[in-house]
């Protein structure tokens, strides 16, 4: 077995890349044909969904196979190879089998345990069979993946994992109140229309919210989800809006659930603060869908300040707007460029909201550590600031804030239930995205409660879900080992068959020679002699052939087939013909994807 998979998914690539790299139906067909036309590949299948594109192939050369499959993916997806390469992953042999089995069980999905992927794997196999690009290995692999996925869902509770996450998140937002009672009559905004967002919307409808608004980058998917919710029989009112309307919808809803594949924030602190400004507690009355921003008060008015921070002061303005670059010296800019090139984190720089690259472990990027360690080292604290420009002070402040944030992260966080404020909640936010969709700082805004993946993990660790995931991982590991052993054993079968065919031919030749030497033997005697010779040959071959199959099923056992061929001088063409006949019979028996 020389199975190779090259692909990209939501775990390796941003949504913008996945959207551009999507494959239409005709592109899949062309990709499979071109893969088989390539020299390293003997058979192939493509698994393409909204969250992944993976090309599976049986190759005879690893490095050549990786290069060829990567090039073909880039060519047919429309994304340049140099742009696609950083997001590609490669799995080979047993690791490739492990990957597909994990995908089939839902362990690699955005919603852990979702079952839709099984239908997509079945479709991928059916296409490979229809185009005759799926040979024995691909057929065996995908058929077994379907069985493993069904086994995981029937023997464990993995299909409840995603449901558990949404339900528990809503329980944390409700805080000591039954979810159905808390949700009754509320208006909800769901951002995203993927698997997790759809599950969240369905759960909100089930627990009794009165209205759900779906916002998504692709309008058709949002409208389709809204139609499904209306037809669900829960009595919920559902509608779809474009992403540009999210800020306005925040002003009229009570609950927001966000789960997108965006690499940046979908909801900023400013937008959330503006939405809750002046709102009464409890379910919101219907409001206009747009909020005038020009006359809005300071969006963070009344919000708790950052630890150790003073009043927010506006940055100096110029007629052309903010111009921090003019106040930062060239050496500082050069250092920032180096940090950015090394992939350091981008931090928010405060009131001016400039993006500054600072690593938490490093010292202050402008050498002002003493300001943080001993701000009172002078009589009035002002002498330390002499000669320091505004841009450097901003960088120092960002570095100091990150150090404070890092220190806070070292402290044990309390559960969401323990953080319930005495003041009423005006807006409840559930962020199920990874990386986060909602600015974590919104929890400082009065009247806002935020629950995200991090807080859910710290608060619950959801033991039943973890147990189900562990059980599925054990199933996958066992099935991968069994599949590998079966494939290695099957690899030596044509050699064993060819050996026994050669032995039968030798027996037939010797019996014919005996007929020439002893022509007076009657039929009964001739049959007895023939049977005796066959038994002797079978007994001599039995132990070696059984043992070689056992050895071949172990890792590294592929060499035993070659050893048999060399020791018994078997004709390679005979072995190959047996293998082709066996494959034809197997494909005929397996039929279409089940």
Q: Which residues contact 368 (CB under 8 A, 6 or more apart)?
A: 384, 388, 392, 393, 396
Q: Among 130-134, 242-246, 403-407, 512-516, whose mean pLDDT is lowest?
A: 403-407
Q: 306 pairs with which residues across the strands?
A: none
| pLDDT of res. 336 | 42
Q: Which two tokens stand for residue 68?
A: 């060829």
**467 has a pLDDT exceeding 60:** yes
Of the pLDDT bands very low, low, confident and very high (cuts 50, 70, 90), residue 20 is confident
Of the pLDDT bands very low, low, confident and very high (cuts 50, 70, 90), residue 487 is confident
Alpha carbon distance 427, 173 (integer Å) = 10
Of the pLDDT bands very low, low, confident and very high (cuts 50, 70, 90), residue 555 is low
Question: Could you give the 3-state DSSP secondary structure of residue 490?
Answer: helix
51 and 260 Cβ atoms separated by less than 8 Å:
no
Most confident stretch, 240-254, 258-272, 391-405, 570-584: 240-254
| pLDDT of res. 166 | 82
Of the pLDDT bands very low, low, confident and very high (cuts 50, 70, 90), residue 572 is confident
Of the pLDDT bands very low, low, confident and very high (cuts 50, 70, 90), residue 329 is very low
| pLDDT of res. 492 | 75
**162 has a pLDDT exceeding 80:** no
Alpha carbon distance 190, 76 (integer Å) = 33
How many angstroms separate the Cα of 78 from the Cα of each of 8, 54, 71, 74?
Answer: 14, 15, 11, 6
**4 has a pLDDT exceeding 90:** yes
Question: Could you give the 3-state DSSP secondary structure of residue 163?
Answer: helix
Q: Among 45-59, 224-238, 307-321, 444-458, whose mean pLDDT is lowest?
A: 307-321
| pLDDT of res. 576 | 64
Alpha carbon distance 162, 396 (integer Å) = 42
How many angstroms separate the Cα of 136 from the Cα of each of 34, 559, 581?
Answer: 19, 20, 11
Q: Among 264-278, 342-356, 549-563, whose mean pLDDT is lowest?
A: 342-356
**585 has a pLDDT exceeding 90:** no
105 is known as an active-site residue: no
147 and 590 Cβ atoms separated by less than 8 Å:
no
Q: What is the mean pLDDT of residues 110-135?
A: 89
The active-site residue out of 50, 105, 259, 364 is 50
3-state helix, strand, coil in the chain (%, to 5): 55, 10, 35
User: Which one, of 439, 424, 516, lies nearest residue 265 by Cα?
Assistant: 439
| pLDDT of res. 570 | 77
Q: Which two tokens stand for residue 359?
A: 């690593």
**491 has a pLDDT exceeding 80:** no
CB atoms within 10 A of CB 2: 18
**128 has a pLDDT exceeding 80:** yes
Mean pLDDT of the chain: 75
DSSP state of 304: P
DSSP state of 450: E
Q: CA torsion sign, 420 to 422 to 428 to 434? A: negative
Q: Which residues contact 266 (CB under 8 A, 6 or more apart)?
A: 191, 246, 258, 260, 433, 437, 438
**HSE (side-chain half, CA atoms, 13 Å) at 594:** 15
Of the pLDDT bands very low, low, confident and very high (cuts 50, 70, 90), residue 129 is very high
Helices and strands in the chain, H and E counts: 21, 12
């Amino acid at each position: 077995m020389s199975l190779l998979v090259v692909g990209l998914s939501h775990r390796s690539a941003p949504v913008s890349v996945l959207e551009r790299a999507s494959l239409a139906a005709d592109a899949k067909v062309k990709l499979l044909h071109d893969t088989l036309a390539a020299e390293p590949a003997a058979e192939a299948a493509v698994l393409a969904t909204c969250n992944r594109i993976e090309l599976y192939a049986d190759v005879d050369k690893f490095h050549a196979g990786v290069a060829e499959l990567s090039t073909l993916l880039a060519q047919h997806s429309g994304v340049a190879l140099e742009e696609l390469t950083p997001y590609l992953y490669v799995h080979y042999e047993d690791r490739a089998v492990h990957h597909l089995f994990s995908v089939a069980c839902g362990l690699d999905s955005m919603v852990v345990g979702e079952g839709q992927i099984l239908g997509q794997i079945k479709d991928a196999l059916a296409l490979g069979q229809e185009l005759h690009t799926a040979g024995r290995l691909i057929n065996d692999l995908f058929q077994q993946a379907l069985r493993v996925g069904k086994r995981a869902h029937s023997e464990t509770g993995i299909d409840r994992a995603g449901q558990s996450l949404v339900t528990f998140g809503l329980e944390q937002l409700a805080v000591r109140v039954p979810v159905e009672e808390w949700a009754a009559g509320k208006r909800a905004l769901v951002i995203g229309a993927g698997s997790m967002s759809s599950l969240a919307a369905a759960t909100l409808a089930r627990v009794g919210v009165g209205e759900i608004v779906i916002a998504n980058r692709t309008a058709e998917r949002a409208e389709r989800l809204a139609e499904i919710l209306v037809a669900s029989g829960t009595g919920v009112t559902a509608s779809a809006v474009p992403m540009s309307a999210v800020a306005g919808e925040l002003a009229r809803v009570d609950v927001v659930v966000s789960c997108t594949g965006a690499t940046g924030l979908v909801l900023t602190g400013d937008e959330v603060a503006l939405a809750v400004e002046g709102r009464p507690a409890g379910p919101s009355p219907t409001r206009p869908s747009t909020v005038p921003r020009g006359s809005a008060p300071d969006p963070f008015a009344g919000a708790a300040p950052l630890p150790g921070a003073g009043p927010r002061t506006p940055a100096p303005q110029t007629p052309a707007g903010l111009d921090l670059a003019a106040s930062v010296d060239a050496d500082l800019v050069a250092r920032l460029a180096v940090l950015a090139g090394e992939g350091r984190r981008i931090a928010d720089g405060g009131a001016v909201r400039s993006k500054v690259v600072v690593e938490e472990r490093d010292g202050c990027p402008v050498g002002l550590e003493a300001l943080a360690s001993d701000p009172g080292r002078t009589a009035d604290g002002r002498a330390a600031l002499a000669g320091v420009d505004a841009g450097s002070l901003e960088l120092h402040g960002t570095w100091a804030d990150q150090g404070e944030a890092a220190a806070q992260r070292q402290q044990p966080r309390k559960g969401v239930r323990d953080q319930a404020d005495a003041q009423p909640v005006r807006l409840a936010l559930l962020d199920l995205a990874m990386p986060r969709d909602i600015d974590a700082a919104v929890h400082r805004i009065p009247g806002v409660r935020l629950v995200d993946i991090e807080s859910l993990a710290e608060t619950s660790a959801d033991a039943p879900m973890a147990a189900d995931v562990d059980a599925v991982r054990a199933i996958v590991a066992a099935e991968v080992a069994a599949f590998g052993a079966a494939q290695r054993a099957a690899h030596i079968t044509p050699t064993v068959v060819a050996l026994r065919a050669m032995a039968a031919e030798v027996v037939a030749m010797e019996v014919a020679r005996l007929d020439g030497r002893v022509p007076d033997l009657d039929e009964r005697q001739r049959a007895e002699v023939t049977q005796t010779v066959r038994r002797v040959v079978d007994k001599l071959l039995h132990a070696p052939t059984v043992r070689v199959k056992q050895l071949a099923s172990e890792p590294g056992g592929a060499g035993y087939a070659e050893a048999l061929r060399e020791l018994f001088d078997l004709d390679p063409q005979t072995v190959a013909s047996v293998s082709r006949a066996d494959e034809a019979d197997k494909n005929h028996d397996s039929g279409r994807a089940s």
